[in-house]
Every structure is written in C-alpha cells, then in structure tokens.
Structure 1
Amino acid sequence: MDLRTYRARSLQEALRLVRADLGDDAAVLHTREVGAGLMRWFGRTEIEVTASNEVDVPSRLPAASRFEHDVHESIPEPTNGFESAQHSQPTDFADYRLRFRELLQQDDEAGFSEVDAQCSRNAPAPAAKPKLLATIRQQLHLAGVEEATSAAWLAQLQDYLAQFPNATATELEDRLLRHVEAEIPLSGPLQLPAGERRIVALVGPTGVGKTTTVAKLAAQFRLNQQRRVGLITIDTYRIAAVDQLKTYADIMNLPLEVASSPREMAAALAALADCQLVLIDTTGRSPRDAMRIAEQRNLLAIADPDEVHLVLSATSSTACQQLAMRAYASVSPTSLMLTKLDELPQVGCLAGLLRETSLPLSYTTHGQNVPDDIRAADRRMLARSLTGIRTAEVN
C-alpha cells in the first residue's frame, strides 16, 4: 500500500499538497498536529496528514471548487472525523479548526512520544531553578563568602543553567566546585632537584607565623625526606626570635646561622654550602614601613633566593591582606602561604583574596604542631572549604 505523509503550517496547505500529489480521489487516513515536544517550546507546530490513493474509503478532500474559495467562507466539516466531505455541511473554518485541534489532542494523549515523556519527567518545576540558586547562595553566605564573590559565582551557575536547564542540585554544586578550583592558582610544594641547593625565604608582616612555618618545612624535609637542611634567621629585632628557631634547630639537629648584614648573609650561605635546602626566616615588618621592607629586600638580594614565599595570616581582614601584598610586592614574592586556617570560623572569607591575587598558593597551615600542621595547597580541599559544599565529587 502506498501511504504518503505531508506536513504544512496549516490544514489547508496540507490538503493542497495531497491534492497536487495524489489527485482528487485521494483518501485522508490520519491527521495530527506535530511539534508537541521540543518544537512547541519554540512556537513551531505543523499539521501532518497521511493519505493514499490506493485505499477504498471516502475521500476527506473537499471538492476542487471549494479550494478556490477564501478559507473563511466554506470548508467541509467531518461529522465523524472520517466521513466523506460530500455528505458534510459547510461550516466556519474557525469551528472546524477548533474541533480538529480537539481530535489532535486526543491523538497526542494516546500517542505521546517517548522523547516528550522523558523530557517531561526530567524537566524541573518552573520554580526549581531559582530555589536551587537560592539554596546555594545561602550555603555560600554561611561559609563566609563575600557578596561580590558569591554574586560572581552564581552568575556562572546561571549561565550554566541557560545551557542545561534540567541540571540537578548535585550537578550545580559540582559545577561550582570546578569553577572555584579553576580560580585558585597553585605553585605546588617545594621541589629539591638532585644535585642542586635550593634557597627559600619566607617574608611577611609581624605575627603571621613565619618562624613556626620555617620549622615545619625544615622538619618535613629533614625528618620525612632525609634531606640536608640549613636555617638562616635575619629576625634579630624580635625578642627571643633567634632562641625560638634555635630550639627547633637543636631538636632536629640542623645548622643555624644568624645574619643581620649583607656580609653576615654571605658568610651564612657559605657555611651552609653543603645543604640541599636553605630556609631563611625574616623579620616581620609592618606593611606601612616601606623603609624596613626595603632594607629586608636588599639583604635578601645577597642570598638571591630561588623562591620567596609571602606569608599571610588567614585571620587577617581582606583589606590587611591586600595591603601586605602591595607592600611586599617590592620583595618580588613568587608564592603565597596562608597560615592559621584552623583559627578561621569561616574559610569562605578567603575566597576574594584567592580570586584576586596573582600569586600562586604554595602551602596552608592549620595549627602549631611541628611538622604535622602544614600541607601543600590542594584545590579540591580549598574549594570545598571555601564554598561549604561537601557532597559533590570533582574529578
């Protein structure tokens, strides 16, 4: 049997196609409105007509003369949906169209496509998207994320939802974690190439934990990796600063040199020539004391360190952290260290700093225990701590 299907924007156009192709004796077997799924979302629907000139049933096509009339004048009305047009009475086209759509709706209910059904099952309720974003906004607020940073992250999620409107809460959290990870620059932990001596200096404001951090790094490389480590301190201004580092050096059996002038710095480096790693502990300076910072820069220039880590306390305000970063830019730091994360009530307050800084993060510290409370910066762990999200998995 020769069955043919025609589609057009209206029933009248579809019937014209049938008549032109199969002739006046063609029988219309089935009609329906298509585009009820994704096409309807874009405002596009068509009329589909299935017809044949080999089926012995009364034709649903109107007489040829009827096709020449205006569509609002007279079009046959099927009394039973499939009766011959010759036995039907003229009716207004709008009434015919209304009844025709009712028939189509019955067809749609009986033959709803699997694709449409799947889309309907997966589609969230209209209020789901704002509710999901509101939940994430609240989570970021509880984590301590500043409003400007939170708004920027939520804008990224809105763009994602525009592309994937059926995204679930877990998928949104996963997307946010990936985005936050991408915004955190990392330098990685200290590396000691074979056969080379590495000189590393720690600089920063007073009270950020530079001396304790030096001891933690020294212990990791000396006790855990069995490397030859030497210490230099130029912190001769703070009371008992030398004694504090000397205590750590004695416990780990490490050489310690004190340098307060360029000549003493050169002598200290010569004395530690056999060490694989030389860690330099510097004097804490106020970010507003440009003269003292310049003196420190000149002294470090003699050491010519391979790495200079700017140490900042996580408990300081964002304004103080940014002030210190500007002040110590003249020392040419290569990496950033954040200390005292264990003292933060909300880690999310660091999000703004990490998004804006150009310095890659090397280490974070989480307590006073030497050498345990220090770890190489980890993007996944930081992203979870910053956002307060614990459930999603980021691969």
Structure 2
Amino acid sequence: MKVKKYKAENMQQAMQLVRLELGDDAVILHSKAVKTSRFFGLLSKKGVEVIAAVDEEPSNQIVKTKTAHMRPEKDMQVSKETISSPTNMGEQDKLLDSIQEMKKMMKGLTKEKQRDPLLPDYFFHLEENLSKTDINAVQVEEMMDRLYEKWSENRTLPYKSMLELVESQMLQSMEEVTFDQNPYKKKFICLVGPTGVGKTTTLAKLAANAALKKGKSIGFITTDTYRIAAIEQLKTYASILEAPIEVCYSAEDFSAAKNKLSHLDVVFIDTAGRNFLNEHFVEELKEVLNFKDEMTTFLVLSLTSKLSDMKKITDQFWNVGIHQFIFTKKDETTSISSMYEISRMYKKGAAFVTDGQNVPEDLIPFTKDLMVRSIMEEIQE
C-alpha cells in the first residue's frame, strides 16, 4: 500500500498528478485548502493539499514510465511527500477498509444514476431517512442500489419488502461482529470509558442483575479516587446489595483487593471517568489494572455522543483489550444508529444498552437482531 501527500495550486492539478503517479485505482483519503509562503513569508498563495493512496503499490518501472512523460503546466507548483504506512496491523486494517470504502464512494459519485421516474415516493423517503443516520454512506448507497435493482425487475416492490431487504443487508453486514451472551463468565468485570457516560450507575445495574437475577455472590472494586461522590455512590449501591467494596489508589491496592474478593462469583470494577482523548490517562489506567487477567472489559459509550467522538474514544481504549460495548442514555437521544456503525466498524457487539436511571430495570441485554431492529425502527419514524 502506498500513501502520498500532494500540494498543488488547485484540485485539478493535484488530481492530475495523483492519476499519473498512482494510477486510476488511487483514492483520495483527505483534502484541504492550504496557503504556501514565499519570500520569507511576505507573500502567500492559496493551494490544496491532498492525501491519496493506492492499495497495490505500482512497480518503480511503471512509475518512472508515467512520470517520464509528465509535463507540469506552466507555473504549476506541486510537491509530494511519502507517508510511512502504519506499523500497527490494526491501523493498517482500518486504513485498508477506508480505502475500499472510498473507492466505492468515488465510483458511486462518478457513475450516472438514471433512476426510473416511476419509482414510488417511499423509495426516496427511505433513502432520505437512511442518509440522516450514522450508517456509513457507502453502505447506504449499496443498500439503495440493491433496492433499485430489485424494484426494476418487475417495476414494483412494496414498502414492507424494501424494509425487509434493508434489514437483511444490515444483518449481513454484521456477520463478523461478536455478541457474547454470557457477560458474567469471567470473575472480574471492568467498565472503562470517558466521564459523564454513566459508568457507576451502569456498574450498579450489572451487579444488581447478577445478584438478584442470576443469584451470584458479588463485590465491588473502585479505582475512581478522583471523585469523592463516585466512591460514596458506589458504597451506597454496595450497602443496598450487601456486597463488599474495596477502594484502590495504586496497582498494589488493586492486586490486594482482587485477592481479598477472589472467593466471590463476580467482582465489578469501576474506573475513573476522565478525558480519555488524552492518551496519558489511558496509560495511567493500564498501570493500575491488569487487563490481561481473568477480566471482561466493557467500553461504555453514551449514545448522546457524536460518532466521531465515539471513534476517538474507542481508538484510545483499543489496546486495553475491549471485549464488548455498553451503550448508555438511549432514552436521551432520538438517534441510536451510531452504535450500529461503531459495532460494525470495530467488530465488537453491544452486551447491554441502558435506557434510564432505574437499577437494575433499565438494562437491556443486546443481540445482533435487536440492534438491527432498533435501527429499523429509527429509519421508519
């Protein structure tokens, strides 16, 4: 895979160089307007910066042949810079997925779409509703193309059949997403995530569910020593459930607490909610907790958050070893499609979704079918 950065006076010139050097299979990963300085910064000129990639690196011979015949236009100033590929295999996989999606998107933008004027209004209504969700634009386009092909066979396709076809395609897109139906199979259950997503309340719901509905002996460990209120809140839940609780300030405290509570069926671990967009805080957390131990780790994300923020948070926690997601505050938003997109993107399902503050009632065990049905309800509103 070859990734390069280009600077040119305009997009047309940049695209010309991309095609000449990387070929027709190249895709644009990013572009932005820039200013180039001349004469010690006294004069500046507007231009564009483009990052392009091709997943099969052409041979040097081909590149030389193409560039040998290249003649830049007059006053055309272009600079190129090779960007080293990511060393992390997970990052490479994500980048390759992005390239494939960009390819599909570019093909969709360049091809003429002559749709039959006899298409029913509900086709366009469904397309509009899907485009308003957080579902990847390429996937939405593919689903609508499939609906159009199916409708074109007989110039008819009922609205209900269209919905069933969309639901089927969404389920198919999640074939590789894992949904574990037994969240209590390991002794230690840890919740991680940013501040304000409701980790402590969610932990209490999980613990109450395990104790009251599953009949398990439980205990608590909290490493959230940054907020006194969080410790007191968890102590209150522990008192109600008649469960022991240990407060840990260091890795040594955490190790001692684990040994002390090892006789219990399940131990629930609360962590501090901090600005985990800062990688330093994630490293601090890893120093205290041994995530490779007999532990199931859930990343808690709020459905009121933007999809872009969810991605950043997930990327920061990825090396911790996330088993599944828990999505909170379903009752506080009208759009929940972000959980489908995040789950599909990272191939990790949702163990639970919360839709209220009641303990333990507002905790919904989630499955792949339930997630897709929830999204289908959203696009029909």
Query: Fold match, TM over 0.5?
Result: yes
Aligned positions of 1:174-193 closer than 5 A? 174-184=164-174, 185-193=177-185
Describe the shift of the 1:155–1:302 C-alpha distance in structure 2 as closer, same or farther (beyond 3 A): closer
Amino acid at match of 2:173: E
The number of residue pairs the alignment matches comes to 263
Q: Counterpart amino acid of 1:267?
A: A
Q: Which residue of 2 aligns with 1:172?
A: 162
Equivalent position amino acid for 1:178 in 2: S
Residue 271 of structure 2: aligned partner: 282
Match of 1:136 among 106, 126, 138: 126
Residue 246 of structure 1 corresponds to which residue in structure 2? 235
Secondary structure of 1:187's counterpart equals coil
CA contact 1:143–1:387 (8 Å) conserved in 2? no
Cα deviation for residue 143 of structure 1 reads: 6.2
Q: Which residue of 2 aligns with 1:265?
A: 254
Indicate conservation of the 8 Å contact 1:140/1:388, yes or no. no
CA contact (8 A) 2:183 2:351 kept: no
Q: Does 1:352 align with 2:341?
A: yes
Listed as ranges, the matches of 1:160-239 within 5 Å are 160-161=150-151, 166-184=156-174, 185-193=177-185, 198-239=187-228
Percentage identity across aligned positions? 29
Residues 85-119 of structure 1: CA deviation (Å, up to 9, x unaligned): xxxxxxxxxxxxxxxxxxxxxxxxxxxxxxxxxxx
SS at match of 1:279: strand
Q: CA deviation at 1:367?
A: 0.9
Amino acid at match of 1:245: L
Find the residue that maps to 1:301 and give its secondary structure. Answer: coil
| Deviations 1:38-93 (CA, angstroms, capped at 9, x unpaired) | xxxxxxxxxxxxxxxxxxxxxxxxxxxxxxxxxxxxxxxxxxxxxxxxxxxxxxxx
Separation (CA, whole Å) in 1 of partners of 2:197 and 2:363: 14
Does structure 2 conserve the Cα–Cα contact (< 8 Å) formed by 1:266 and 1:302?
no
From the superposition, tell whether residues 228 and 213 of structure 1 become closer, same or farther in structure 2 (CA, over 3 Å). same
Q: Which string of whole-angstrom CA distances, capped at 9 and with x for unpartnered residues, describes residues 170-196 of structure 1?
A: 111111112223334342343445xxx
AA at the equivalent of 1:335: Q
Contact 1:145/1:348, CA 8 A, preserved across alignment: yes
Letter in 1 for 2:179: S
Code of the residue aligned with 2:182 in structure 1: it is: L
Cα shift at 1:165 = 5.7
- Label 1:294 to 1:142 Cα distance change in 2 as closer, same or farther (>3 A): closer
**1:274 partner amino acid:** H
1:362 touches 1:377 (CA, 8 Å); kept in 2?
Answer: yes
Unaligned 5+ residue runs, structure 1?
1-125
| Secondary structure of 1:369's aligned partner | coil
- CA shift for structure 1 position 159: 4.6
Name structure 2 gaps, 5 residues minimum: 1-115
Q: CA RMSD in A?
A: 2.6
Q: 1:149 to 1:238 in 2, by over 3 A?
A: farther
Letter in 2 for 1:299: V
Decide which of 335, 344, 352 is 1:363's aligned counterpart: 352
Give a deviation string over 1:138-184, Cα, whole Å, max 9, x none: 34356675755533432343354466764322111111112223334
Asked if the contact 2:222–2:231 (Cα under 8 Å) also holds between the matched residues in 1, the reply is yes
| Counterpart residue number, 2:317 | 328
Contact 1:186 1:362 in 2 (8 A): no
CA positional deviation for 1:199: 1.2
When the two structures are superposed, what TM-score results if normalisation uses the length of structure 1? 0.60
Residue 306 (str. 1) matches residue 306 (str. 2) = no
What amino acid sits opposite 2:346 in the alignment? T
List per-residue Cα deviations over 1:290-326 (Å, max 9, x = no partner): 1221121122217724311111111001111011011
When residues 138 and 289 of structure 1 are mapped into structure 2, their CA distance, relative to the original with a 3 A threshold, is closer
- 3-state DSSP of counterpart to 1:304: coil
CA contact (8 A) 1:287 1:323 kept: no
1:274 offset after TM fit, Å?
1.3
Q: Quick one: distance in 2 between partners of 1:310 and 1:294?
A: 15
How far the C-alpha of 1:347 sits from its partner, in A, is: 2.4
Counterpart residue number, 1:36: none
- 2:368 matched to which residue of 1? 379
Cross-structure match for 2:94: none
**Structure exhibiting the larger radius of gyration computed from Cα positions:** 1
Q: Secondary structure at the match of 2:246?
A: strand
Deviation at 1:277, TM superposition (A): 0.9
Query: Using the alignment, how far apart are the partners of 2:328 and 2:131 within structure 1?
Result: 23
Aligned-pair CA distance for 1:353: 2.7
Distance of 1:292 and 1:389 partners within structure 2: 35
1:239 offset after TM fit, Å? 3.0
Relative to the length of structure 2, the TM-score reads 0.63
